[in-house]
């Protein structure tokens, strides 16, 4: 038995289960995006409900599926948001959702709606959202959790307007990415209704999917490589991309930002002359996203 | 990422209704004992009223919007989520398989189990206009939908619509649909023809509908430039009934959609509402002015090049004067403007080998018709240059009695066709034949017609004369007494 545990531990340490093309990818998530991700997930859940193993219900501003409740945060002003976790797989979410045994219907629906998985542990995570801290969530291997610190939890509509972003780095495979390079990450959100005279406060944990494009140079490099570009434009943009990468490697963040701004400017100014609008948008959008992450 | 109901809704939720001018509010202040003061005040009020009206008129802008089919399908999902989110306020919101039912209506995406396709879209002018769509019946449900649209803070616009067209000729676009107020109306060709031509399912991305309306620019979401419009959708298709027989079904529902104007001036308004400061702000405005100048001269390509320069300025200032988040919003808006400048509406074109609305056929597309189905005898049907059937290659059905021997006729002597005269062309245009009941040349008889003959006539003493199958006498029944 001890030997088995040892083998498992070693396998976990060396990255057992990671696919060949897995890489560390950086994600940014603004509070407003969390709120819209929950609504978007509820919409997908409801419109796809005919294909789901259990019935979806609606009650008091929330969708309910297999006893998992997802209240919308864009409406109820009295709901406190206290914790947001990034979970490595739909199966883990099912295990976390069930008090005695995993709620398999939850993992089934998350997988049906395209959940991507990543390989724990989460390596780097931080929060620039006021009143929110980042910490590892110890559910088996460490996952990512962002937690509101005490009184600053605030109500859900105020939460949506909070500045700053949650930032985390995950190890996942590019093969899971969607057509726009996006990943569908499993998340959980803990919130609490305030309660009233005759109502007790209710704490609920919603499991949902957030579609996020990595805010990293890898995605920009991938888009640049796939972009249909004339030779001179490609050479110039590649040069700027390489320069930004070099500056990042040297820890010169301002310099990298400057190179990315030049990259975005040069890609933009070539729109309709050398680069088609869709390619321009794809390159510029990603350059700006990376700048946000720096 | 999408799915948020946006700042507009938050504004409504917070009770921050947009300020409205009211003459009554001013009038209530004109209580004074001094007549002169009252007169002055009234004069001021009249002036303020005029100015108010003028400024309201000045606020309206003629903006053009593009509505993609994928956005329409996306709106169904968003509205379902919206209804679920507001289920505490809106009474009677229930989840049904593949959607959400509210006020007796529900939109179901084609992927949601019902085999329905999108067949009609109307852009309604306000939440209040939902009642008009319901008619005298179902007023309660209309009020409930109007309540939901009020919560969603849909933007009102001033009819009539000024333009409506689409990227496909399989949809009929109409800016002057039905009675006033004349709304942008889009209808699939199949809806008018009783077929499914042009019907859209969820996978059919790329169909774009364009409309131009008068709208108050101040209603745009300052952070995104989006206006929120109320849509009426009609889906049609076949669903399996309980007995397994396909049943035609139709469903009408309401959703809302966020759209950004594609006009260059709207891009300028967004630069301002995003709070972008100088120097890039002035530079961006100058680019927009140059775009407008080039467009006025008809130089669309030059205008597009300048739009590229605009994007270049946004990119170069990103992270500095323009933060990346605002930069991405501007970038999306530029792409919308680009789509607006390059949008090419499609109208039925005779000669493109595709049968479109108003065309009976086009090239080889004969809509499944043949000479026979059009009432001809045979032949090869073709399509004429005016997209009307050409029946020159069709063989008409013969007309017996016109004196012309046509396909399927053995003879035709016009009025001389007769079923009584020997050897005449018969009235069904067949040659005289054994069995036609008339004794023709080389025939002794024909059926019961023995041409007045009998056994005695034929030299027998008695018996019964008959006619055989080859129209010769059969004398087997005749006899002589001697034997």
Label the pairing between strands B394-395 and B389-390. unpaired
B425, B446 Cβ separation under 8 angstroms: no
Cα(B181)–Cα(B125) distance, integer angstroms: 8
Rounded CA separation B280/B302 (Å): 21
For A262, the closest chain B residue by CA position comes to B316
Least confident of A66-80, A237-251, A264-278: A66-80
A245 has a chain B CB within 8 A of its CB: no
Q: A171 phi and psi, to 5 degrees?
A: -100, 105
Instruction: Report the alpha-carbon angle B169-B177-B167, nearest 5.
Output: 20
- Structure ipTM: 0.83
Q: Which of residues 432-461 of B touch A (CB under 8 A)?
A: none
Helix or strand (DSSP H, E) at A287:
helix A277-293
Reference A264, options A294, A289, A227, A228; nearest CA is A289
Distance from C-alpha of A119 to C-alpha of A139, rounded to nearest angstrom: 13
Task: Identify the pLDDT of residue B231.
Answer: 94
Q: Hey, what are A128's tokens? A: 């620039």
Query: Smallest Cβ distance to B84: which of A37, A63, A261?
Result: A63
| Phi, psi for A89 (deg, rounded to 5) | -160, 165
- Answer whether A37 sits within 8 Å of B327, measured CB to CB: no
Lowest mean pLDDT among A10-14, A92-96, A245-249, B400-404: A10-14
What's the confidence (pLDDT) of residue B397? 84
Q: Is the peptide bond before B181 cis (omega within 30 degrees of 0)?
A: yes
What residues in B contact A163, CB-CB < 8 Å? Answer: none
For B109, the closest of A32, A47, A272 (CB atoms) is A47
CB–CB contact B95 A50 (8 Å): no
Percent over 70 (pLDDT), chain A: 88
Q: Which residue has the higher pLDDT, A103 or B289?
A: B289
pLDDT-derived band at A102, boundaries 50, 70, 90: confident
What DSSP string runs through A206-223? EEEEEEE---SHHHHHHH
Classify each residue of B359-373 as buried b or exposed e, where b means 16 or more C-beta atoms within 10 Å of its C-beta. bebbeeebeeeebee
For residue B69, what pLDDT is reported?
A: 92
CA distance B349 to B12: 47
Kindly determine whether residue B95 and residue A57, on different chains, have CB atoms separated by under 8 Å.
yes
- The verdict on A56 touching B (C-beta cutoff 8 Å) is yes
Report B:100-159 residues touching A (Cβ under 8 A).
100, 108-109, 111-113
Give me B172's structure tokens. Answer: 């009929």
- The string of pLDDT tens digits covering residues B447-479 is 999 989 999 888 888 899 999 999 999 999 999
How many other C-beta atoms are found inside a 10 Å radius of the C-beta of residue A290?
A: 26
Choose the closest CB to B311 out of A35, A59, A280.
Answer: A280
- In the A/B pair of chains, how many CB contacts fall below 8 A? 203
What pLDDT shows up at residue B114?
Answer: 66
CA angle, corner B232, sides to B231 and B233, nearest 5? Answer: 110
Residue B308 parent element (H or E) = helix B300-316
Contact A204, A171 (CB under 8 A): no
Whether residue B463 contacts residue B445, with contact meaning beta carbons closer than 8 Å, is answered with: no
pLDDT in tens, A20-52: 577 889 999 998 899 999 999 999 888 888 877
* Of A213, A225, A234, the residue nearest A292 (C-alpha): A213
**Cβ contact A58–B93 (<8 Å):** yes
User: Among candidates B211, B79, B47, which has minimal Cα distance to B145?
Assistant: B79
Residues of chain B with pLDDT under 70: 1-59, 108-114, 178, 239-245, 482-483
- Please tell me the pTM assigned to this model: 0.75
A87 touches chain B (CB under 8 A): no
Please name the residues between 281 and 310 in chain B that touch chain A, using a CB distance below 8 Å: 301, 304-305, 307-310
Residues 26-55 of A with CB under 8 A from B: 32-33, 35-44, 46-51, 55
**Which residues, at least 6 apart from A89, have a Cβ–Cβ distance to it below 8 Å?**
A107, A115, A117, A118, A186
Q: Which residues pair with B463 in a beta bridge?
A: B478
With a cut of 80, say whether residue A59 has pLDDT above it: yes
Closest CA relative to residue B69, chosen from B149, B157, B168: B168
User: What's the pLDDT at B6?
Assistant: 52
Query: What is the pLDDT, as a whole number, of residue B36?
Result: 43
Q: Which region holds residue B40: left if phi is over 0, alpha if psi is between -120 and 50, else beta?
A: alpha
Q: How many CB atoms are closer than 10 A to CB A83?
A: 19
Beta carbons of B335 and A277 less than 8 Å apart: yes
Task: Give the 3-state DSSP-derived string for B35-74, with helices as H, strands as E and coil as C.
Answer: HHHHHHHHHHHHHHHHHHHHHHHHHCEEEEEEEEHHHHHH
Which residues of chain B neighbour A185 with C-beta distances below 8 Å? none
| Least Cα separation, residue A272 to chain B (angstroms) | 6
| Cβ contact B331–A288 (<8 Å) | yes
Q: Do B88 and A210 touch (CB under 8 A)?
A: no
Place of tokens 């499944």: B368
Q: Which residue bears the tokens 């079904």?
A: B249
Structure confidence at residue A9 as a pLDDT band (50, 70, 90):
very low
Of A44, A49, A210, the CB nearest to B97: A49
Are the Cβ atoms of B311 and A269 closer than 8 angstroms? yes
- Interface list for A 180-209 with B (CB within 8 A): none
Distance spanning both ends of chain A, measured CA to CA: 46
- Residue burial B177-190, b: 16+ Cβ < 10 Å; e: rest: beeebbbbbbbbbb
Cβ of A255 under 8 Å from any chain B Cβ?
A: no
- Contact status, residue A50 vs residue A58, Cβ threshold 8 Å: no
What confidence score (pLDDT) does residue A145 get? 80
Contact of A231 with A216, CB cutoff 8 Å: no
Across chain A, mean pLDDT equals: 84
CA neighbor of A290 nearest in space, from A221, A205, A199? A221
Measure in Å the smallest separation between the Cα of A16 and chain B Cα atoms. 32
**Packing angle of the helix pair B139-151, B6-13 (nearest 10 deg):** 110
pLDDT score recorded for residue A155: 63
């Amino acid at each position: 038995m001890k030997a088995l545990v040892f083998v498992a531990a070693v396998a976990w340490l060396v990255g057992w289960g990671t696919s060949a093309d897995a890489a560390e990818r950086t994600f940014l998530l603004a509070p407003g995006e969390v709120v819209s991700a929950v609504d978007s997930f509820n919409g997908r859940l409801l419109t796809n409900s005919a294909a789901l193993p259990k019935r979806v219900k609606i009650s008091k501003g929330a969708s309910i599926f297999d006893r998992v409740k997802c209240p919308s945060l864009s409406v109820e002003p009295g709901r406190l948001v206290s914790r947001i976790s990034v979970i490595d797989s739909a199966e883990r979410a099912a295990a976390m959702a069930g008090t005695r045994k995993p709620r398999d219907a939850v993992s089934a629906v998350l997988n049906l709606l395209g959940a991507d998985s990543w390989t724990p542990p989460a390596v780097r995570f931080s929060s620039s959202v006021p009143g929110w801290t980042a910490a590892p969530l110890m559910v088996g291997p460490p996952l990512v959790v962002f937690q509101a610190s005490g009184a600053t939890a605030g109500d859900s509509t105020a939460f949506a307007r909070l500045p700053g972003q949650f930032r985390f780095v995950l190890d996942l495979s590019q093969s899971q990415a969607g057509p726009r390079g996006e990943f569908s990450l499993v998340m959980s959100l803990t919130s609490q209704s305030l309660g009233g005279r005759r109502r007790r406060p209710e704490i609920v944990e919603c499991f949902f999917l957030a579609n996020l494009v990595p805010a990293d140079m890898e995605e920009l490099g991938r888009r640049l490589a796939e972009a249909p570009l004339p030779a001179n434009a490609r050479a110039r943009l590649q040069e700027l991309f390489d320069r930004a990468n070099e500056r990042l490697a040297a820890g010169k963040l301002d310099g990298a930002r400057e190179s990315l701004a030049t990259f975005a400017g040069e890609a933009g100014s070539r729109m309709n002359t050398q680069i088609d609008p869709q390619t321009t948008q794809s390159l510029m959008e990603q350059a700006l996203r990376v700048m946000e992450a720096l | 990422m999408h799915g948020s109901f946006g700042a507009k809704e938050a504004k409504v939720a917070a009770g921050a209704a947009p300020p409205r001018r009211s003459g009554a509010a001013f009038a209530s202040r004109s209580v004074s004992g001094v007549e002169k003061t009252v007169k002055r005040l009234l004069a001021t009020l009249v002036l303020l009223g005029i100015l108010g009206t003028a400024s309201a008129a000045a606020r309206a802008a003629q903006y053009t919007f593009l509505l993609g089919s994928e956005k329409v399908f996306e709106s169904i999902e968003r509205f379902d989520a919206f209804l679920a989110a507001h289920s505490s306020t809106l009474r009677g919101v229930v989840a049904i398989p593949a959607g959400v039912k509210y006020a007796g209506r529900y939109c179901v995406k084609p992927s949601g189990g019902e085999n329905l396709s999108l067949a009609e879209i109307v852009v309604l002018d306000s939440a209040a206009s939902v009642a008009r769509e319901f008619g005298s019946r179902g007023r309660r449900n209309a009020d409930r939908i109007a309540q939901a649209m009020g919560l969603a803070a849909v933007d009102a616009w001033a009819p009539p619509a000024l333009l409506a067209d689409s990227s496909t000729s399989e949809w009929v676009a109409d800016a002057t649909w039905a009675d006033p107020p004349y709304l942008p109306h889009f209808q699939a060709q199949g809806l008018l023809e009783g077929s499914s031509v042009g019907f859209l399912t969820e996978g059919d991305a790329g169909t774009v509908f364009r409309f131009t309306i008068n709208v108050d620019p101040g209603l745009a979401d300052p952070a995104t430039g989006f206006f929120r419009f109320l849509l009426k959708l009609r889906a049609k298709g076949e669903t399996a009934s309980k007995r397994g027989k396909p049943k035609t079904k139709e469903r009408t529902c309401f959703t809302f959609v966020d759209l950004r104007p594609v006009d260059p001036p709207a891009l300028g308004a967004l630069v301002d509402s995003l709070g972008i400061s100088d120097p890039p702000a002035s530079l961006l405005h100058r680019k927009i002015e140059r775009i407008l100048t080039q467009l006025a001269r008809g130089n669309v390509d030059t205008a597009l090049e300048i739009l590229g320069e605009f994007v270049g300025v946004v990119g170069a200032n990103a992270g500095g004067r323009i933060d990346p988040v605002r930069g991405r919003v501007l970038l999306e808006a530029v792409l919308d403007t680009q789509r607006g400048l390059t949008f090419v509406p499609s109208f039925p074109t005779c000669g493109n080998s595709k049968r479109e609305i108003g065309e009976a056929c086009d090239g080889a597309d004969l809509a499944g018709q043949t000479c026979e189905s059009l009432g001809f005898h045979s032949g090869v049907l073709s399509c004429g240059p005016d997209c009307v059937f050409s029946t020159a290659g069709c063989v008409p059905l013969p007309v017996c009695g016109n004196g012309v021997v046509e396909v399927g006729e053995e003879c035709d002597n016009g009025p001389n066709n007769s079923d009584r005269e020997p050897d005449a062309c018969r009235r069904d245009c067949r040659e005289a034949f054994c069995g036609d009941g008339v004794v023709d040349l080389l025939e002794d008889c024909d059926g019961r017609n023995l041409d007045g003959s009998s056994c005695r006539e034929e030299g027998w003493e008695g018996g019964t004369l008959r006619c055989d199958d080859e129209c010769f006498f059969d004398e087997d029944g005749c006899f002589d007494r001697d034997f």
